[in-house]
Chain A
Amino acid sequence: MIAALRDAFLSALIALGLFAPMVGLVLDNGDQGLVLRTRPVAAAVMVGLVFVGRLVMRLWADRPGREARAIRASKFVPKATNRYVAPILLAAAVLLPLTGSRYYVDLGTLVLTYVMLGWGLNIVVGLAGLLDLGYVAFYAVGAYSYALLAEHFGLGFWICLPLAGIMAAFWGVLLGFPVLRLRGDYLAIVTLAFGEIIRVLLINWVSLTHGPNGITDIPRPTLFGLRFSMDDGDDTVAAFFGIEAQTIHRVIFLYYLILGLALLTNWVTLRLRRLPLGRAWEALREDEIACRSLGINVTNTKLTAFATGAMFAGFAGAFFATRQAFISPESFTFIESATVLAIVVLGGLGSQLGVALAALVMVGGLELLRDLLSTIGEQMGSAWFSGLAGDLPTYRMLIFGLALVAMMVLRPRGLVSVRTATAEMR
């Protein structure tokens, strides 16, 4: 107890050093330049939190019977309860538009976009073990491919979808070919640099991309040539089926479109894992040198993983462009890459179900939490609650970052650590 108290006290002392200047003092942009404002209460609260947190952590770790529990935990084998989770999730995803609520369908579309990106990146990071920090670059290539092809050549979504995927895969090969010989962490930095290069190019190559203003009026997808439109043309979905034109039709169509694309990604991944190529990816992740000595062409294997992942990002990018009808370089920052990476890592690096759950929690959960908080705030007339909800987007990335660190420290194999080797030695 004394030891725990002393430990907590020391932690609080360090926290004081960390938070007293950075939280206790604020640089305010005043009219006359910067002014220094003090905020002692906030700093004190944070130091207090560290003290209490550390004390609880120590007492929890030191509670009696710890060793016995540790031994039991090491023998713990996760049961296959998740057999039912995936079908239930899928059924819920398919049935969601029946609620008829535009809000939920929009939110579902957003979540599914991240699920698809997560599954795509999962091939690269989770299966092949290549850390790609510039995944958003391929997303951007896909989105801009579609937007530019539509703008200059008047091509429709369905023709551009495969083209966007091919373009993104092409860029993946182009980047991957020289750099995939590098060690894992060099690769991470190079992909990061590549992501930034693409973004800077998009901003500055104004004659092609319209720079920071972005591209507007990107055409919407059609259903076998039928448009989703409110006008009374003959080729609209509403006219063909003889129903009243509503914008919700398009929203629901987009939802099923991304659901289909995401499931395609999942299906391809699951199939690939059973091919020799997929086996090679997983082997590569576990031990590159062993792979090389067994005669696997490491560069080609990595390259296919990289290109396949990039292709799915390209598909998702084309979908993003057609859904928003507007894209600008703003949407393709490093934060997006980090978000998708966070989803893959939290999902357990390689687990398909884990990625879906992580995307659901991190994208959908936070969004729902924000709305819940602001509703509660309005009901109670509490400005504090509403204010908290308004701050959530600001705190979102902070939570992401903390979750990444906590995940690595506490459960490096992910929330749903069901990932098992596809093939096992017996």
Chain B
Amino acid sequence: MMNASGVPALAYALQQLINGVTLGMIYGLIAVGYTMVYGIIGMINFAHGDIFMVGSFLSLIALLGLASLGITAIPLALALTLIFAAALAALYGWTVERVAYRPLRGSFRLAPLISAIGMSIVLQNFVQVGQGARVKPMNALLPGGIELMNDGNFAVQLSWMQIAIVATTLAVLAVFTWLVTKTPLGRSMRACEQDLKMAGLMGIDTDRTISLTFVIGAALAAVAGLLFLLYYGVIDFFIGFLAGVKAFTAAVLGGIGSLPGAVLGGLLIGLIEVGWSAFLPVEYKDVAAFSVLILVLIFRPNGIMGRAEVEKV
């Protein structure tokens, strides 16, 4: 079986699978932030995609800064950048929650969402004004890779970058899983997710738990921002919008409120997007992601791993 460009379909599909998984990991990391916040306070944190964008900018600034300080050993530079970007993006996440969402708890239904849209616009334009509207390119940090399969005219490449992205994501998610399942903070978060009011009555500091949820979500988004920067090598102030909508789609697809679901949804969205670009008109790849969102919401609004929502009066 050959496709139009004369490339064996199997090798081509394998390559797309690798690319899709890599991209899906990035979406999954962002989606975790959406799903956590939605699970606890039931709002769509519209500014989350822009926190991801800020994380991406912080990473690029850190990488350039470290290079000018003379730290060029790539593993060390990447590790320092990761910590720097995650810490400062977490501060952004905390501030956004404190300034724009916390005063609105108990306000009317659409208030936090509108506030979040405002925050998203603020972050985008803050970065545009502060850093300029032009795209910021970066040289590839980890060129090269392994050739997995070569059948004459098409080589399946697994680049070091992709390995690094998948490895980082898995490591970060492992730490995150430990945090949620094994620590007192994780227990409070899960309690708040089940019933915010009841958790408060049981002596859990709900405000603090919500703040920390935003902090963790923002840190994960910043990691995704760094990986996005490494993978594509170019960022601008607007990347948060598309990535945000796609990651939200991932969260809904996986079942909003479910953490494994978010990662699974991210992988699926990554695969759908890459698969679409590989075999169908590439201009419409974003339409594909959006259509998936609409279809999922219509036919399976609880997602793959979500629980059915019971509305009580």
Chain A residues packing against B (C-beta within 8 Å)? 14, 17-18, 21-23, 25-29, 33-36, 125, 129, 131, 133, 178-179, 182, 184-186, 188-190, 192-194, 196-197, 200-201, 203-204, 289, 334, 338, 341-342, 345, 349, 394-395, 397-398, 400-405, 407-409, 412
Contacts and interface: CB of A to CB of B under 8 A. Distances in A.
Given A22-B58, A185-B43, A189-B293, A289 B313 contact: yes
Given A36-B65, A405-B118, A409-B103, A182 B297 contact: yes
> Which of B61, B91, B92 has the most chain A CB within a 10 Å cutoff?
B61
Contacts of A186: 252, 297, 301
Given A14-B95, A179-B297, A405-B119, 5 more contacts: A27-B60, A36-B64, A401-B124, A401-B125, A404-B121
Contact of A200 (B129, B284, B294, B298): B284
Interface in B91-142: 91-92, 95, 99-100, 103-104, 107-115, 117-132, 134, 136-139
A398 B122 contact: yes
Contacts of B104: 408-409, 412
A194 B297 CA distance: 13
A29 B137 CA distance: 9
B130 A405 contact: no
Q: How large is the interface on B (under 10, 10 to 19, 20 to 34, 35 or more residues)?
A: 35 or more
Contact of B121 (A25, A29, A194, A397): A397
B122 A402 contact: yes
Main DSSP-derived SS at the A contact region: helix
Contacts of A196: 245, 286-287, 290
B283 A193 contact: no
Given A14-B91, A33-B137, A200-B284, A404 B117 contact: yes
Minimum-distance CB pairs A-B, first 5: A404-B118, A401-B121, A401-B122, A193-B290, A398-B125
Interface in B168-184: none
Contacts of A409: 99-100, 103-104, 115
Nearest to B256: A186
Given A25-B65, A401-B118, A185 B113 contact: yes
A188 B113 contact: yes
A27 B57 CA distance: 9
> Which of B91, B107, B118, B125 has the most chain A CB within a 10 Å cutoff?
B118
B294 A193 contact: yes
B89 to A, nearest CB: 10
B298 A179 contact: yes
30 contacts: A17-B91, A23-B130, A27-B131, A36-B65, A129-B109, A131-B110, A178-B294, A179-B297, A185-B44, A189-B293, A190-B293, A190-B294, A196-B286, A197-B291, A203-B283, A338-B117, A349-B110, A394-B125, A395-B129, A400-B118, A400-B121, A401-B118, A401-B121, A401-B122, A404-B121, A408-B100, A408-B104, A408-B107, A408-B114, A409-B103
B311 interface: yes
B136 A345 contact: no
Contacts of A203: 283
Contact of B132 (A28, A204, A345, A398): A28
Contacts of A33: 137-139
B228 interface: no
> Which of A36, A408, A409 has the most chain B CB within a 10 Å cutoff?
A408
B90 to A, nearest CB: 10
A179 B104 CA distance: 27
B274 interface: no
B248 interface: yes
B68 interface: yes
Nearest to A191: B294
Nearest to B67: A36
Contacts of B138: 33-34
Contacts of A185: 43-44, 113
A23 B58 CA distance: 11
Contact of B137 (A34, A129, A178, A407): A34
B245 A189 contact: yes
B116 to A, nearest CB: 9
Interface string B51-72: 0001001101110110010000
B88 interface: yes
A188 B248 CA distance: 12
Contacts of B245: 189, 192-193, 196
Contacts of A28: 132
B67 to A, nearest CB: 9
B118 A403 contact: yes
Given A17-B88, A201-B287, A401 B136 contact: no
B241 interface: yes
B293 A34 contact: no
A398 B293 contact: no
Contacts of A36: 61, 64-65, 68
Interface in B32-56: 43-44, 54
A396 B10 CA distance: 51
B287 A182 contact: no
B289 to A, nearest CB: 8
Given A133-B117, A188-B44, A405-B118, A193 B100 contact: no
Nearest to B286: A200
B64 A27 contact: yes
B93 to A, nearest CB: 11
A398 B88 CA distance: 21
Nearest to A15: B95
B110 A27 contact: no
